[in-house]
Amino acid sequence: GIGIISMIVQSRFKNKFKKYSEMPLTSGLSGAEVAQKMLHDNNIYDVKIISVEGQLTDHYNPADRTVNLSPEVYHGRSVAAAAVASHECGHAVQHATAYSWLQFRSAMVPIVNVASRIVQFPLMIGVMLAIFSKVLILLQIGVAALAVTTVFSFITLPVEFDASKRALAWLNTANI
């Protein structure tokens, strides 16, 4: 269920990105320049904008205060590059303004990292043990780890929607 929805969303995003990558930005600014402008317009001067390898690998890292843009976004001068760059800067603005959902999500990251690494083993072994020996503890640990990763996914939604909302509001007033 959730995996299929995720694939559909990812496919739609890639198609939209491709479409808007072909639309040049009227200002001619690159994604990196758009990001820098948005950060400065929000009085944020301690976040670095860097290019990272890969396609659609864009993200904000609150730990080292970097906006990480894929080469296509970093160097791109399209509507898509501006949208993605400003969305990632939206996360930097969330961080600078102590947005509560971002703080909550960031606090969950270490727990989710452990849960996502171990989830498959307790589930598989737990099912086998439950079938043959009625021992349920590993299965319960696996279900708990799966629950943690699922809750994290749902907590991510308001963070992403808010970053996009901030980006759109800024883009509408910045004359980019």
Active site residues per annotation? 88
CB of 130 closer than 8 Å to CB of 136: yes
Query: Which residues are CB-neighbours of 56 under 8 A, at least 6 positions away?
Result: 13, 14, 17, 70, 72, 84
Distance of CA 2 to the CA centre of its chain: 17
d(CA 155, CA 104): 8
